[in-house]
Structure 1
């Protein structure tokens, strides 16, 4: 009898446990930022288990409860729920910003100290969405849909960023804290960065040279690492794979990291990617558009409350096919079999080694930031034979940045020192020479002041820069080649120096749901090595290029106004800008042929230019549970050569994006649809032709599977589903009518733990 009673109560306990419920909650915020939150199930003693996208209550007795979620800077969320026996309830909640709340301060860049209060026009783009993972065009596959941002393509895998009509070496990219110098002076040299280990990208639109020096004329891309491993002392990471039908391309990637109890941490990221030639909308294989890349990133450091440091190393290896200027002629196409991935001539081999160290401290009255990095970029263009290098460079770049800010004063004062040492040398095995061996030293000092009173935030900065560039054609290889420097100096060396002052002044005013920002700023860019000293054939672009050592530095002056309206269900932003660029350098064909090589001669010219335009973004969320979201955005920019009253070359066409995201209530599935409208470019510049507009239609779906405390994410996206055949005005292959990629079905799998 005793055993029967025990068994009876054990059975009751077993069935009671089996009937307990589970509550799974996905949390998002109105402004899209990740936040730390506290979750309670009032009436239950079960604690929440925090997950990457939300939290979970397990083994909850059936009954009625009050779910309460709160986070700093957001309204308290409360909801009455009823859990039934054995139920798995899934909720998606949106934390909303109080109408009378002060803006949450988000640090955009630790080096410069600027935050989301800055009067600069900027956009933050999350790279975490599974549908956007592993685009064949790298980061720019996502960023080029940001209003005001565009991409100039040289085939898949080679995309250069443009911001407000300015690109090439007029956009600064900050990766791993390093001001990236990867020989972006070349038209066929891509950004050289993918989304491995990247959490988000903050895009600053407009001149920011006062903080980032030469090149920040059009804007800045601030690439931020994913550091989820700092949130827990458990192992954190993900592993996944992607497939792209357009090129039968695949990518495998993995990340893992851990923070120890003594605040020491370490992490690593790995990826390998391989693509065959892509197909256009007519099903034509575009020969030699194949490429493959491999990457490894290593991180270690200490994360304390008032002291943080990080040592990182990145190795990135790329093999990039070069599309021929005669590719669209059937008898000259380099296309082989559909799934051929072997590198063929011509192609680029690019290797990057980047070592960086950053450190920041916070004290009662001041804060400091220090960054040091060394970047080695080796680039080979191999055209005639696999065992010969037609054009090759090794660039070594050391970058430093230091800042101290006085914070315990009415006016926050920041003082900074920033500079570079760069050496670019032709490889000994190179057969041809486009630019001489060259080096430069530059340094800049800046001061920035920030003052906040009531609803106003003022920011002003002033900077002085000096750069000395030395070209050296004294090597035996350059002598044998007959390379000539301008003026033909006897010692075969030539030096040029550039200096000047830049500044900015802006103000933001916040009025409940409204924010107005206005900013006046200047930017500058020192002519790059090719613009100053090039005098040779460029195999990858079939051009003979000639520079001009007498160029002055480019100097811009811009005014912009930005208006933002934020409501629980509707938000809008509108920006307009106008800028003047003195000594604007552009590249054009001379309509002449170089006698020995037979190549077209291209020269650089310097004029005064004017650019103006604007961007807009509207978002509507009809339901409070954030299950449906509509987004409409667009941009236009105009560029004029003031000297001869004609449009500038390489100005993006008007463009607009309409996107819909639908998250059905209580499901882990998200549906998305997008329409990208590119207008006709009817204002071609010098030696350009008018380009037709086109429309791209995209669809996507993603699903999250729970595997215990882990998560499996699946994303399926169709890009250019209508299989449009088009040539983009910003394509660097436009002159040869090389068509862009057609329909692409992208499948992504990612397991997060």
Structure 2
């Protein structure tokens, strides 16, 4: 069997590859590509009708892989990686772009939480999230500034069915960090009213390397509460959602005191997020109006050696999103929209990383979708304005001096996409789109030592918009027993913003300036899914992803993930009446050498990780529950990810981690 699998995987490695979403891998039917309805697409098309290729994963599927955090689970999606600082801090990377170049949506509103910072993680818990959709490439048409590289769109969990009630309890235990993840939820729905409340608590100690040493101060705890109330009738629907997330985490600096202490030591961060969203749908005879509003409060504190915060940043954001779906004209659908954001940043700590500032956005869009026979074409355009005003702070010539700026950035963007079925089983997509990103406050105003990277950074108030054009090609084939996909992209970015040393030294730190140059990124994702007949219980998947990023002078861009080849064998089974929907998986993840490093990075060796999983639904004496057990990095391989921020200190990533999960429907 082993030799058969090796031969099979090697045989397909030179072909176009395909990937499957696990929630469609049922043994009683083959994988169907158009089963998922895409909520992050403006026209709400199923995948077979959607012009843009969008990856969809259920959170349950990611959890079954034994991920300790939401970001760790997302990094298993082809084309998505993470910049990590231990196990507690993870920033999303889509096709080599990260930070303010990747936009995150949760509860239908854009998440704003000082995402420019290297030490600032995703800031979301997987508790109460149903699924995630990934848009790879510029999505400025629908989302405005900062969607230059892509979008992570998190869908909240669904309400209970009408006139029903349910409760559930979920528990996961992690051997490596002696960690636990607990979640409890209640749902109730009548014919018109719906209600959800869910609480979660995530607690982990320092993670253990393969040599059995602990990485000091990688411990963290996270408390999360999500609640929602909804009302609907044939003419109107509204949902009010609220999320409170309180994260307390250590900032690792070295391998020091070996302890299983749970409370983070200094330096540490405290992050408090409030997310409030209101979604309204007005249904008219032949048209519809969506009116969505959001409020996000992000309080981020950093403590060095006492309870007095060195950094205390308060970011408050109000945003709105109005879309009107015009009456259809034959097969032509059109949407016009207005979006905006008002944001304030205020500092209360002893030091300032960025100045007090006000940011205001407004954008107008129009997009149309036309279908005929097996063809779909979608096009649109958008115009945006962003204003940034900051306040003067400090003394001229001193570290921490910020000169007041008053900037206005505008951008016009457009997109064009085409999808067709070449045969009954083969489909083709082509998309070309532009996107933009306005410079963030750190890039415009920095003047001081960035403790996370040990360099003195100087901002540039004359920076221009980053503006890109990306071309995407997608080819998919699928029949009852075999599927493949091939995604290719080329992304050209004008005025790409990066940091560069100027040769000076201040307070024993090298001085870096923020500068701009044109850049390009190219690559793709490829994969297969083999579902042989009559072995309906067997699924073999394989995917390969690659991205290269370069500046116009030929130098490589920083924080570009290494090429990855991911192979997975999954079996599904039932045993009498006491195990239903059982599964067993073996995953082999091969990370290639990363020799295309930037000037400030080191090369990275290749490594291979082996992960296994087993689970199913157990029914014993009328007691029913789901159970899963995973062994991640089962061979306890010592490795350092190219995107690990602990790489410069030579600290390996996490060793073997056994994860046990149980879920009860009460």
Say whether the fold is shared (TM-score over 0.5).
yes
Matches within 5 A, 1:321-470: 321-324=250-253, 327=254, 333-337=255-259, 339-385=260-306, 387-410=307-330, 411-427=332-348, 430-470=349-389
Partner of 1:50: none
C-alpha separation between the residues in 1 aligned to 2:436 and 2:495? 10
Aligned to 2:442, the other structure's residue is in SS state helix
Q: How many residues align?
A: 640
Q: CA deviation at 1:316?
A: 0.2
Is the contact made by 1:393 and 1:426 (CA closer than 8 Å) also made in structure 2?
A: yes
Partner of 1:40: none
1:266 pairs with 2:195: yes
Partner of 2:28: 93
C-alpha separation between the residues in 1 aligned to 2:281 and 2:621? 37
Q: CA deviation at 1:126?
A: 1.2
Give the structure with higher Rg (CA).
1
Q: CA deviation at 1:305?
A: 4.8
Q: CA deviation at 1:340?
A: 0.9
C-alpha separation between the residues in 2 aligned to 1:480 and 1:296? 45
Partner of 1:674: 587
Q: CA deviation at 1:738?
A: 2.1
After superposition, give the CA deviation of every residue in 1:83-122 in whole Å (9 maximum; x if it has no partner): xxxxxxxx9622775xxxx956723227675653332222
1:135 pairs with 2:135: no
Is the contact made by 1:630 and 1:661 (CA closer than 8 Å) also made in structure 2?
A: yes
Q: CA deviation at 1:323?
A: 1.1
Partner of 1:57: none
* TM-aligned CA distance change 1:399 to 1:130, over 3 Å: closer
After superposition, give the CA deviation of every residue in 1:42-96 in whole Å (9 maximum; x if it has no partner): xxxxxxxxxxx9xxxxxxxxxxxxxxxxxxxxxxxxxxxxxxxxxxxxx962277
Is the contact made by 2:37 and 2:44 (CA closer than 8 Å) also made in structure 1?
A: no
Q: CA deviation at 1:145?
A: 1.6
Is the contact made by 1:253 and 1:271 (CA closer than 8 Å) also made in structure 2?
A: yes
* TM-score of the superposed pair, with normalisation by structure 2: 0.92
Is the contact made by 1:110 and 1:369 (CA closer than 8 Å) also made in structure 2?
A: no
> Aligned to 1:718, which of 619, 631, 646?
631
Aligned to 1:506, the other structure's residue is in SS state strand
Partner of 2:87: 156
C-alpha separation between the residues in 1 aligned to 2:635 and 2:166? 39
* TM-aligned CA distance change 1:231 to 1:134, over 3 Å: farther
Is the contact made by 1:627 and 1:665 (CA closer than 8 Å) also made in structure 2?
A: no
Partner of 2:53: 121
RMSD (Å) for aligned C-alpha atoms: 2.3
Matches within 5 A, 1:668-707: 668=580, 669-706=582-619
Matches within 5 A, 1:9-20: none
> Aligned to 1:622, which of 527, 532, 540?
532
Q: CA deviation at 1:536?
A: 2.0
Partner of 1:71: none
1:730 pairs with 2:665: no
Partner of 2:416: 505
After superposition, give the CA deviation of every residue in 1:427-452 in whole Å (9 maximum; x if it has no partner): 1xx12112111111011100001000
C-alpha separation between the residues in 2 aligned to 1:473 and 1:524? 27
Partner of 2:187: 257
C-alpha separation between the residues in 1 aligned to 2:390 and 2:112? 17
C-alpha separation between the residues in 1 aligned to 2:510 and 2:396? 24
After superposition, give the CA deviation of every residue in 1:194-223 in whole Å (9 maximum; x if it has no partner): 211111101011111111111111111110
* TM-score of the superposed pair, with normalisation by structure 1: 0.81
Matches within 5 A, 1:181-196: 181-196=112-127
Aligned to 2:29, the other structure's residue is in SS state strand
1:606 pairs with 2:606: no
| Between 161-170 and 363-372, the greater mean CA deviation after superposition | 363-372
Matches within 5 A, 1:202-213: 202-213=133-144
Partner of 2:146: 215
* TM-aligned CA distance change 1:240 to 1:208, over 3 Å: same
Partner of 2:15: none
> Aligned to 1:307, which of 230, 236, 242?
236
1:179 pairs with 2:90: no
Is the contact made by 1:118 and 1:459 (CA closer than 8 Å) also made in structure 2?
A: no
Is the contact made by 1:317 and 1:350 (CA closer than 8 Å) also made in structure 2?
A: yes
Q: CA deviation at 1:623?
A: 3.7
Partner of 1:651: 560
C-alpha separation between the residues in 1 aligned to 2:433 and 2:531? 35
| Between 620-629 and 681-690, the greater mean CA deviation after superposition | 620-629
1:484 pairs with 2:401: yes
Q: Which segments of 5 or more consecutive residues in structure 2 lack a partner in the other structure? A: 1-19
Partner of 2:8: none
Is the contact made by 1:465 and 1:499 (CA closer than 8 Å) also made in structure 2?
A: yes
Partner of 2:433: 521
Matches within 5 A, 1:554-565: 554-565=466-477
* TM-aligned CA distance change 1:498 to 1:187, over 3 Å: same
Aligned to 1:129, the other structure's residue is in SS state helix
Aligned to 1:211, the other structure's residue is in SS state helix
Q: CA deviation at 1:407?
A: 4.0
Is the contact made by 1:381 and 1:540 (CA closer than 8 Å) also made in structure 2?
A: no
1:247 pairs with 2:247: no
Q: CA deviation at 1:336?
A: 3.1
Is the contact made by 1:121 and 1:206 (CA closer than 8 Å) also made in structure 2?
A: no
Is the contact made by 1:433 and 1:537 (CA closer than 8 Å) also made in structure 2?
A: no
Matches within 5 A, 1:24-63: none
C-alpha separation between the residues in 1 aligned to 2:457 and 2:294? 32
Aligned to 1:537, the other structure's residue is in SS state strand
Is the contact made by 1:434 and 1:545 (CA closer than 8 Å) also made in structure 2?
A: no
After superposition, give the CA deviation of every residue in 1:126-153 in whole Å (9 maximum; x if it has no partner): 11238537732x2222221211111110
After superposition, give the CA deviation of every residue in 1:467-526 in whole Å (9 maximum; x if it has no partner): 00011125xx789986423xx5xxxx3211100101100100023111100000001011
* TM-aligned CA distance change 1:111 to 1:302, over 3 Å: farther
> Aligned to 1:279, which of 204, 208, 216?
208
C-alpha separation between the residues in 2 aligned to 1:746 and 1:588? 42
Is the contact made by 1:108 and 1:115 (CA closer than 8 Å) also made in structure 2?
A: no
> Aligned to 1:288, which of 198, 209, 217?
217
Partner of 1:21: none
> Aligned to 1:530, which of 442, 462, 483?
442
Is the contact made by 1:111 and 1:401 (CA closer than 8 Å) also made in structure 2?
A: no
